[in-house]
Amino acid sequence: MTLNNFPSISIVGATGAVGKICLDILKEKKYPSNKINLFASKRSEGKRIQYFDEELVVQEAKKDSFNESNVVFISADSQVSLDLAPAAVESGALVIDDGSAFRMEKDVPLVVPEVNENDINNHNGIISIPNCTTTPLVMAIHNLKKLGSIKRVQATTYQAVSGSGSLAVSELQSQTENFINNKDISMSVYPHQIAFSLIPQIDDFMPDGYTKEEHKMINETRKILHDNNLQISATCVRVPVFYCHSEVISVDFEHEINIHDVVDIFKNADGIKLIEDGLNGNYPTPKFVEGKDDIYVGRIRKDNSNKKGLNFWIVSDNLRKGAALNAIQIMYSAIKLKKIPNFH
């Protein structure tokens, strides 16, 4: 693209973890600074963020902030999205929202470009990004469907504290230091100690015993894959890891599958890297995957209790592919499909 062919971008939540990584990725792509505007809450107004040899000034996000924007990324809490997204659409921008506010709205596409890019054609001004655990799951299942009909999917997640925000990262760090130094441990973000422990609850519990996070995974997966009849269950667990979500996935097919075909599918899939050498201790880990764009798959094996079953392990960077990168990929897909209003 030439300089004039870059859409003007506004990032709402620019001082948050996802907003910062969004800016990092734009920098990697050498996106021109004069096409980027940064917004956040009033308390962050006036902050300066380095972008190459320039400093971009953060402005307070208001409903009338987006008159010059072609694309508005929103990475903030749901109320901010509900307040600002309609105004941004009214001003003529495409909104790409990282929160849960619009994900299950019928007229809002929920998109992972490697899976359902063409759904972008159906947007009415807003496109949603799925939950950061849904994204790697649907990327894997989308490719496995090429092997035949899937009967059931079961996912267990091991989610890093960065999924709860910067305060959760600080809480894990301080709890770890206090534990090692035999000091009192306090909790504010989580209901229980997270350092050297696990918490089998992410978001509030629902009457059926599942949490909201688990419902998000189930419902979002069905929507993205256009399969409301997919039998899927999820258990989401918070773990004492700073970055990257991991998942154990079990898939039951309608027929017996060949493990070599599974390996070939993942080897050739867009956005997926395979590390499959367990005998030599090689498999994806959060530490290895941190900062990488692809999702990583390993520990592929047939279910020894079900000849039609498959088990495997996924790790992805929840702040990159789980959020910021996916948003930017959606923008580039929208450019390709000519689905950004007032931009050609």
Do 73 and 39 share a structural domain?
A: yes
pLDDT tens digits, one per residue of 73-89: 999 989 999 999 999 99
Decide if 166 contacts 243 (C-beta within 8 A). no
- Predicted TM-score of the model (pTM): 0.94
pLDDT for the residue numbered 5: 80
Do 71 and 138 share a structural domain?
A: no
Q: Give the number of domains in the chain.
A: 2
Do 221 and 92 share a structural domain?
A: no
Do 215 and 111 share a structural domain?
A: no
pLDDT for the residue numbered 344: 73
Q: Which residues participate in catalysis according to the annotation?
A: 132, 245
Strand ranges across the sheet with 231-238 = 231-238, 150-159, 245-253, 309-316, 295-302, 272-274
Q: 238 lies in a domain?
A: yes
Do 256 and 205 share a structural domain?
A: yes
Task: Tell me how far apart the alpha carbons of residues 257 and 262 are, in angstroms, rounded to a whole number.
Answer: 8
pLDDT for the residue numbered 111: 98
Q: 79 lies in a domain?
A: yes
Do 262 and 154 share a structural domain?
A: yes
Do 257 and 331 share a structural domain?
A: no
Task: Tell me how far apart the alpha carbons of residues 210 and 201 are, in angstroms, rounded to a whole number.
Answer: 9
235: containing domain: 134-160+198-318
Do 138 and 55 share a structural domain?
A: no
pLDDT tens digits, one per residue of 163-183: 999 999 999 999 999 999 999
Residue 230, φ and ψ in degrees, nearest 5: -60, 125
Do 212 and 109 share a structural domain?
A: no
Q: 214 lies in a domain?
A: yes
pLDDT for the residue numbered 1: 52
Q: Using 50 as the pLDDT threshold, list the residues of the chain that sit under it.
A: none
Decide if 222 contacts 115 (C-beta within 8 A). no
Do 244 and 260 share a structural domain?
A: yes
pLDDT for the residue numbered 238: 98
